Amino acid sequence: MNTKSLGWTELNFTQIGLGTWAIGGGGWAFGWGPQDDTLSVETIHRALDLGINWIDTAPAYGLGHCETVVGQALKGRANKPFIATKCGRSWGSDRKLFPALRKKTILGEVDASLTRLGVGVIDLYQVHWPQPEEEIEEAWDAIADVVRSGKIRYAGVCNFNVSQIKRIQPIHPVASVQPPYSMLVRDVEAELLPFCAQENIGVVAYSPMQKGLLTGKITRERIAEFARDDHRSRDPQFLEPLLDLNLELVNDTLRPIAERNQMTVAQLAIAWVLRRPEMTAAIVGARRPGQIEETVQHSTLALPEDDLHTIDHALRIRQESIQSR
Ligand SMILES: NC(=O)c1ccc[n+]([C@@H]2O[C@H](COP(=O)([O-])OP(=O)(O)OC[C@H]3O[C@@H](n4cnc5c(N)ncnc54)[C@H](OP(=O)(O)O)[C@@H]3O)[C@@H](O)[C@H]2O)c1
């Protein structure tokens, strides 16, 4: 699989990274319902065997559980992938997440992640959310110290806007940003992507298949069967009125284009994200080996211009329809 350097860093990431949010399982506010850990380990092994060379995780995913499962999967593996994890979301005995970016919290989080992951160094350490916003400079200063200590190789941010990145850049160079980006969430196109290109900051896009909606396999029946602790049941993209528009986009526009290009809808959705030159990689979530087997194929192919125009036109009509409601 093709690799790209992550902005100005020496990390060469495959254009598909494995996303592990769903591997955190259920039992917390942003869970994905029950998840079998054996299947999760098999999924991680399959991703690595298919050539994916980096994994994105976070302490928040399953409240430490996801990092532990990633650590188990990596035990004894000869070729270890790059590990990207995060900080800035803490939880108490009530299992509720809260934002926390104070220096003391960050220092504790780094050590806890290293232990759960069973590694001596974290390749990419990312602030999960710019919240509390008044603490981002303190967090970044703490992270810069940890980079100097050797426990972290590079530091990046998730969900930051350009002005927030500009606030922390003088403290320590920003290696990467991790924003949401899919056909349904395109906010980064106007300002963030051009800024990252100009500053040579790596971009790793999350939820490229909009949490499974853009795989062509989500139906109203499937949504009705989501586990009670699958947070997607509360996600507006999976609820009316957006759901109707989203299923129409998938069935009327994306499915025929995917078929014409001998791809699946999921592969088309990822290829669409990777069409942007600013994009280092797409973080592709999977919870079963078969899912990553599918999405790793064809999704780095260039899409024909006329198909890109057709998708753009359909997305514009969808947007107008949302605005007119
Ligand atoms: N920094 C942040 O704030 C942030 C936020 C969100 C995500 N992320 C990262 O980005 C990663 C990717 O985003 P994501 O997991 O939200 O969404 P995604 O990659 O758009 O979708 C992943 C989900 O789609 C379904 N899926 C995957 N492959 C499939 C296939 N071949 N056929 C059918 N269904 C398939 C699976 O769920 P089901 O099988 O249950 O349908 C899977 O969990 C996350 O795992 C996480 O590492 C970061």
Q: Is 33 a pocket residue for ligand 1 (Cβ < 6 Å)?
A: no
To test the pocket of ligand 1, the residue of 291, 292, 296 to mutate (highest count of ligand atoms within 8 Å of its CB) is 291
Length of the chain: 325
Q: Looking at residue 17, what is its pLDDT?
A: 98
In the predicted structure, residue 123 carries a pLDDT above the cut 90: yes
In the predicted structure, residue 325 carries a pLDDT above the cut 90: no
Query: Which residue in 17, 19, 20 sits closest to 35, CA to CA?
Result: 20
Nearest atom within ligand 1 for CA of residue 284: 19
Q: State percent of the chain over pLDDT 90.
A: 98
Q: Looking at residue 100, what is its pLDDT?
A: 97
CA of 213 to the centre of ligand 1 (A): 9
- E-strand spans in 29-114? 54-56, 82-87, 89-91, 97-99
In the predicted structure, residue 21 carries a pLDDT above the cut 90: yes
Separation CA 202–CA 177 (nearest Å):
6
Q: What is the pLDDT of residues 185-240, one digit of tens each?
A: 999 999 999 999 999 999 999 999 999 999 999 999 999 999 999 999 999 999 99
For 4, counting Cβ atoms within 10 Å of its Cβ (0-12 exposed, 13-18 middle, 19+ buried), the class is middle
To test the pocket of ligand 1, the residue of 86, 206, 294 to mutate (highest count of ligand atoms within 8 Å of its CB) is 206
CA of 141 to the centre of ligand 1 (A): 31
To test the pocket of ligand 1, the residue of 61, 161, 204, 211 to mutate (highest count of ligand atoms within 8 Å of its CB) is 211
In the predicted structure, residue 60 carries a pLDDT above the cut 90: yes
CATH class held by domain 3-212+269-300: alpha beta
Coil, helix or strand for 78? coil
Q: State percent of the chain over pLDDT 70.
A: 100
Q: Is 210 a pocket residue for ligand 1 (Cβ < 6 Å)?
A: yes
Q: Is 206 a pocket residue for ligand 1 (Cβ < 6 Å)?
A: yes
CA of 64 to the centre of ligand 1 (A): 18
Coil, helix or strand for 299? coil
* Reported confidence tier of residue 79, pLDDT bands at 50, 70, 90: confident
Nearest atom within ligand 1 for CA of residue 86: 1
Q: Whose CA is nearest to atom 32 of ligand 1?
A: 291
- Which tokens belong to 81? 């992938």
To test the pocket of ligand 1, the residue of 50, 54, 209 to mutate (highest count of ligand atoms within 8 Å of its CB) is 209
Mean residue pLDDT across the chain: 97
Q: What is the pLDDT of residues 172-186, one digit of tens each?
A: 999 999 999 999 999
Q: Whose CA is nearest to atom 28 of ligand 1?
A: 291
In the predicted structure, residue 5 carries a pLDDT above the cut 90: yes
Q: Looking at residue 147, what is its pLDDT?
A: 98
CA of 34 to the centre of ligand 1 (A): 15
Q: Cis peptide leading into 241, omega within 30 of 0?
A: yes
Q: Is 299 a pocket residue for ligand 1 (Cβ < 6 Å)?
A: no
Q: What is the pLDDT of residues 267-312, one digit of tens each?
A: 999 999 999 999 999 999 999 999 999 999 999 999 999 999 999 9
Q: What is the pLDDT of residues 128-172, one digit of tens each?
A: 999 999 999 999 999 999 999 999 999 999 999 999 999 999 999
Query: Which residue in 25, 54, 223 sits closest to 126, CA to CA?
Result: 54
61 is catalytic: yes
The three-point CA angle 266-129-271 to 5° equals 20
Nearest atom within ligand 1 for CA of residue 293: 31
Q: Whose CA is nearest to atom 38 of ligand 1?
A: 212
CA of 170 to the centre of ligand 1 (A): 33
CA of 42 to the centre of ligand 1 (A): 16
Q: Cis peptide leading into 132, omega within 30 of 0?
A: yes
Backbone angles phi, psi at 27, to 5 degrees: 85, 15
282 in Cβ contact with 205 (< 8 Å) = yes
239-266 average pLDDT score: 98
